[in-house]
A and B are shown apart, each in its own frame.
Chain A
Amino acid sequence: MTTESTAVGSSARVLQNEIEVAVIGAGNWGTTLAHLIASNGHRPRLFTRDPDKCATINREHQNPRSLPGVQLHPGVVAVTDFADTVRSAHLVLLVLPSRGLRETCRELGAFLRPDQPVVHAIKGLEIDTHARMSQIIQDETCARQLGVIAGPNIAVEVAAGKPAGTVIATPFPAIAALVRSLLSCQQFRVFDGHDMHGVELCSALKNVVAIAAGMVDELKLGDNAKAFLVTRGMSELMRLAFALGAEPATVAGLAGVGDLMVTCASPHSRNHRVGVALAQGMGLDEAVESIGQVAEGVYASLAARALAQANRIEMPLFTQINRVLHERLPVLEALEGLLQLETGRDVPGVLRRRG
């Protein structure tokens, strides 16, 4: 027997801490978000298909595989019944690898109602279609009240209670308010954005730049070189994102520059680690295997290449990284190739948008 919720919590509901959130995906970020929601007194239902994991979380309030050593708030309830979890949620929060999203959404669509908002915290683009995550959700479900959470948020740091900031980007102010009340606390600052489109593009594309940063670090080319390369990558990212409908200022926000800084610097960043591994001479498969987790930049680079071609935007840095990743171009050769390019304008004088 399931109770049918009545979606988007009113302010009364928020005050009474009655918001039930279906957190789909019990990896390190999903678990962390569930922990924050519970710490704010609301009711996260952390969905996992793994009954052992579910039992461990509910018994020991720990998720040792994803967040070793972190004690979770007892309000984090792990569940394995997908349909029930979705039906009774006031808000659905999707925290999965981008490659699994479409399939999960197809399942989600069978239970979701139009009044249930869906927010995702996924940094990727679909390989075949180059679709943003919110486009996949719209394709596969009836949900139209959507939002995205993104920013410089290394899960283990947030879970350990260290200060961090994030952005909830959505064209629906009611959803922004709801997410703020679910997640915001003294250590975790939640900012509003309305450019969902731009935040999704920035947070997916910046992973490609992070791979390049890992390469420069490993090759010890110096801090100047790293800043140079990351900034040029940013400039390419901005041109592409703008052509695809993002607002330029979004690139300067938490999901753009903010996330890029942490991804390019932190040894926790999977994408950075892929870059390091490649620079050590590993092949792509070996590099990905050595990390043991999904590095979204590997796939985002393919989507970026196709989108850049379709929009006739030159992205030399992205192109070279792509060739390293998918055409076995040696890292050093790729970076040398960039140094041989003619230098043009630093920042674009005019941004061009299609149609």
Chain B
Amino acid sequence: MLRTSHEADGRATKPGVLSGARIADEVVRRVRSRVVDGSDAHIEQLLYETIYREQLRLADNDSDPRVEVDRAFIRTLRHDLAHARSPQLQQLVHSVLTHYTEEISGHFDPRVYKLATTVIPPALGALLHGGRPSLRMFDVRERVLLEGEVSALQWAARAGTVVLVPSHVSNLDSLLLGYAIFALGLPPFAYGAGLNLFSNAIIGYFMRNLGAFTVDRKKQDPLYLDTVKEYATVLLEHGQHMLFFPGGTRSRSGAIESHLKLGFLGAAVSAFGNRRARDAESKPIFFVPCTLTYPLVLEGASLIDEFLRREGGPHFVDVRDEFERPERWYDFLRQLAELDLQVHVRFGTPLDIVGNKVDVRASGISRDRRGRPVDPVRYLYRDGAVVHDPDRDAQYTRLLADEIAQGFRGESVALPSSVLAYAVFRRLRARYPTLDVLRLLRVLGPHASITLSELRPELDILLAKVSQLSAASAIHLSPELQGAGVQDVLESGAKTLSSYHREPVVVLEGDLLRIHDPNLLLYYRNRLAGYGLCAEQDDPAEELRASRRFRP
């Protein structure tokens, strides 16, 4: 059961409870009416494409019971389609849409939410302690800092419907954001979570009941994509706040995402238009960019490994010893506490549908880049009324995505560890100017080192540049970096980078800094890529493409 405010409908009905089933019905009805508008040949083509894509997907893995259900469904669909005539085609579309909508629907229950938010934080603490004394000191309130435009977010959630769009670093992001939403006293947010997260029984239970709906990234047929987007649109139209990761997936390189997925953003732009077309007084939709900055990343090692394998292809040779890298979240949390490290969750200025900043002090009007007031609904006008125009909205969505990506960059937090990693990596590159990144990683191996006398001037310059960026509001400095000298960054950065991971990334030894894991060094350095901190190309993906172009 999904409780929603009813202002979205624009009807003067008494506030009621909108059931999950009604949302699902609405989604199926809308997508279906779009599809059956087409010719029989078009409908048939869509169904065949669904079968084709699903068969490709289902050919891969075999053990999951859900896969068995999907296989049976597609078998039946294929059989029925072979014999279908015009009226049955519509029926088949309906059955596919219903099948998909059932999978997507969450089971959000306000009672469970209330229970969870009052019980979970202490319970989480107890769970983490788990009888192990070392975790007693872990207190989520001390470890997770909520920063930036916090009050603007709270205002936006009261005055309108919020689409929270965070950069995606780690699997812990969802949990921390869940905590943030609760701690800031915000109403529940629905969010689309990857199907794989639901396969964990405990996490899956909470995700479903805390408002998550399922997104299966492996499903790529047009009917599924349309259905999942419409689901988000309908939720938003009913005033349900939402959270989704516009990068689509965790950043593998460690860099901040610059290319965002447009699907859900587009759904939110449509929702704004649909609402305003029905009711000129309906509440606005605000987009709030958000970044998470971790001094250490739980699954950093496996992320960068995946990045190097994927982008490096045959040119990537892993020279490190093989070892298992499970995600050791218990060790991770313990290290955060023991090292007195903090995760920064920063919220940016709310944006409207084309990416204009929203001024919450002026009751939420948008402002153009020169600060002049703008009425965002007018972006949807033609001849004085809101007009549905998917081409126009697709372009607005691109503009919005660009602004969000820019927001990510500006709201990111520079830490001693990332500054140190950046400086060390740059010195190592300079040492081997003819090597591309992949060959450099290979040559460095697990035993490279750098003298502090070589490193200090580089750190000095880098610190100055990062401070300049911060002065221009292009990045934020963590408290440790504010007014910090080279020695502070060296010590604090090295302390962080030498902990938690199976192999320390770097270790400070007298006058030397030893580099044990150059891949992770690259990962933490990438966080500061794309800020123009040095004259050379530092875009991680482009560096690897250059590596692949190398011909001896």
Q: Do A and B associate with each other?
A: yes
| Chain A residues within CB distance 8 Å of chain B | 6-10, 13, 106, 109-110, 113-115, 138-142, 144-145, 171-174, 312, 354-355
Partner pick for A145 among B368, B372, B392, CB 8 A cutoff: B392
Q: Is the Cβ of A6 less than 8 Å from the Cβ of B369? A: no
Task: Give the chain B neighbours of A106 by CB distance below 8 A.
Answer: 370
Q: Given the complex of chains A and B, what is the CA–CA distance between A13 and B374 in angstroms?
A: 25
Given the known interface contacts A142-B368, A174-B392, A355-B542, the answer about A7 and B374 at a Cβ–Cβ threshold of 8 Å is no
Within 8 A of A (CB), among B357-382: 368-370, 372, 374-376, 378-382
Which residue of A8, A140, A145 contacts B370 across the interface (Cβ within 8 Å)?
Answer: A140
| A-chain residues with CB within 8 Å of residue B541 when the two chains form the complex | 355
B530 and A144 form a contact (CB under 8 A)? no
Contact status A172-B392, CB under 8 Å: yes
Instruction: Tell me which residues across on chain B come within 8 A of A9, comparing CB atoms.
Output: 383
Q: Binary interface profile of B, 55-73, with partner A (CB < 8 Å = 1, else 0)?
A: 0000000000000000000
Is B112 at the interface (CB under 8 A from chain A)?
no
When chains A and B are docked, how far (Å) is the Cα of A110 from the Cα of B398? 25
Contacts of B399 in A (CB 8 A): 144
CB distance from A41 to the nearest CB of B (A): 19
27 of the cross-chain contacts (CB-CB < 8 Å) are A6-B381, A6-B383, A7-B381, A7-B382, A8-B383, A10-B382, A109-B368, A109-B370, A109-B372, A113-B375, A114-B374, A114-B381, A115-B378, A139-B369, A144-B395, A145-B379, A171-B394, A171-B395, A172-B391, A174-B382, A174-B389, A174-B392, A312-B537, A354-B539, A355-B258, A355-B530, A355-B541
B354 at the binding interface (Cβ < 8 Å): yes
**Interface 1/0 per residue, B513-546 and A, CB below 8 Å:** 0000000000000000010000001010110000
Contacts of A172 in B (CB 8 A): 391-392, 395
Residues of A within 8 A of B369 (CB): 138-140
| A145 CA / B392 CA spacing, docked (Å) | 8
Chain B 391-427 near chain A by CB (<8 Å), digits 1 or 0: 1101110110000000000000000000000000000
Q: Give residues in B with beta carbon < 8 Å to A.
A: 258, 354, 356, 368-370, 372, 374-376, 378-384, 389, 391-392, 394-396, 398-399, 530, 537, 539, 541-542
Query: Which residue on chain A has the smallest CB distance to residue B370?
Result: A109
> Distance (Å) between the CB of B175 and the closest chain A CB?
30
Q: Name which residue of chain B comes closest to A6, CB basis.
A: B384
- Residues of B near A312 (CB, < 8 A) are 537
Q: Quick check: B382 and A6 within 8 Å, CB to CB?
A: yes
Check if B379 sits within 8 Å of A144, measured CB to CB: yes
Residues from chain A with Cβ under 8 Å of B370 in the complex: 106, 109, 140
In angstroms, Cα B387 to Cα A9, docked, is 12
| Residue pair A8, B375 in contact (C-beta under 8 Å) | no
Which A residues lie within 8 Å of B398 (CB)? Answer: 171
Report whether B382 and A8 are in contact in the complex, using a CB–CB cutoff of 8 Å: yes
Residue from B376, B391, B396 whose CB has the most chain A CB atoms within 10 Å: B391
Contacts of B384 in A (CB 8 A): 6
In the complex, the answer to whether B375 meets A173 with C-beta atoms within 8 Å is no
Closest approach, in angstroms, between the C-beta of B398 and any C-beta of chain A? 8
User: Which single member of B372, B381, B391, B542 contacts A115 (CB below 8 Å)?
Assistant: B381
Which of these, A110, A174, A354, contacts B372 with CB under 8 Å? A110
The answer to whether B378 touches A113 (Cβ under 8 A) is yes
Query: Is the pair A142, B381 in contact by a Cβ cutoff of 8 Å?
Result: no
When distances are taken between beta carbons in the complex, the residues of chain B under 8 Å from A138 are 369
A354 touches B542 (CB 8 A): yes
A152 to B382 alpha-carbon distance, docked (Å): 32
A6 to B383, CA, bound (A): 4
Query: 5 shortest A-B CB distances, which residue pairs?
Result: A115-B381, A6-B384, A114-B378, A142-B368, A171-B395
Q: Which residues of B contact A110 (CB under 8 A)?
A: 372
B391 touches A174 (CB 8 A): yes
Q: Are B542 and A114 interface neighbours, CB within 8 A?
A: no
Chain B, Cβ-Cβ closest to A10: B383
Output the nearest chain A residue to B536 by Cβ-Cβ distance.
Answer: A312
Residue pair A173, B381 in contact (C-beta under 8 Å) = no
Decide if A114 touches B395 in the complex (CB within 8 Å): no
Beyond A106-B370, A354-B542, is A144–B354 a contact (Cβ under 8 Å)? yes
Please give, as numbers and ranges, the residues of chain A lying within 8 Å of B356 by CB-CB distance. 142
Q: B542 to chain A: which residues have CB within 8 Å?
A: 354-355
Quick one: closest A residue to B381, CB to CB? A115
A272 and B398 CA atoms in complex are apart in Å by 38
- The distance in angstroms between the C-alpha atoms of A168 and B123, with both chains bound, is 62
Other 16 A-B pairs with CB < 8 A, given A7-B382, A8-B382, A144-B354: A6-B381, A7-B383, A13-B383, A109-B372, A113-B375, A113-B378, A114-B376, A115-B378, A115-B380, A115-B381, A142-B356, A142-B372, A144-B396, A171-B398, A173-B391, A174-B382
Closest CB-CB distance, A312 to chain B, in whole Å? 7
The listed residue with most A CB atoms (<10 A of its CB), out of B356, B372, B530, B541, is B372
Contact A115–B379 (Cβ < 8 Å): yes
Residues of A within 8 A of B376 (CB): 114
A114, B382: Cβ atoms under 8 Å? no
Closest to B255 in A: A355
Contacts of B530 in A (CB 8 A): 355
Which residues in A have their C-beta under 8 angstroms from that of B394?
Answer: 171
Shortest Cβ gap from B550 to chain A (Å): 14
Find chain A residues with CB under 8 A from B389 CB: 174
**In the docked arrangement, what's the CA distance between A236 and B530, Å?**
25
Q: Which residue of A lies closest to B369 (CB)?
A: A139
Which residues of chain B come closer than 8 Å to A141, judged between CB atoms? 368
Chain B residues within an 8 Å CB radius of A174: 382, 389, 391-392
Q: Within the assembled complex, what's the spacing in Å between the Cα atoms of A174 and B391?
A: 8
A251 to B135, CA, bound (A): 62
Which chain B positions have C-beta within 8 A of A355?
258, 530, 539, 541-542
In the assembled complex, the Cα of A140 lies from the Cα of B372 at a distance in Å of 10
**Assembled-state Cα–Cα distance A173/B537 (Å):** 37
Min Cβ gap A115→B in Å is 4
Nearest CB of chain B from residue A168's CB, rounded to whole Å: 14
What's the Cα separation between A102 and B383 when bound, in Å? 28
Contacting residues, chain A, for B372 (C-beta < 8 A): 109-110, 142
Tell me, in angstroms, the Cα distance from A295 to B20 when the chains sit together. Answer: 64
Within the assembled complex, what's the spacing in Å between the Cα atoms of A10 and B385? 11
Q: How far is the CB of A117 from chain B (nearest CB, A)?
A: 10
- Residues on B with C-beta less than 8 A from A142 are 356, 368, 372, 374
Taking CB atoms, residues of chain A closer than 8 Å to B382 are: 6-8, 10, 115, 174
Which residues from chain A contact B368 at a C-beta distance below 8 Å?
Answer: 109, 141-142
Residue of B with least CB distance to A111: B372
| Complex Cα spacing A144 to B368, Å | 11
A106 to B539, CA, bound (A): 34
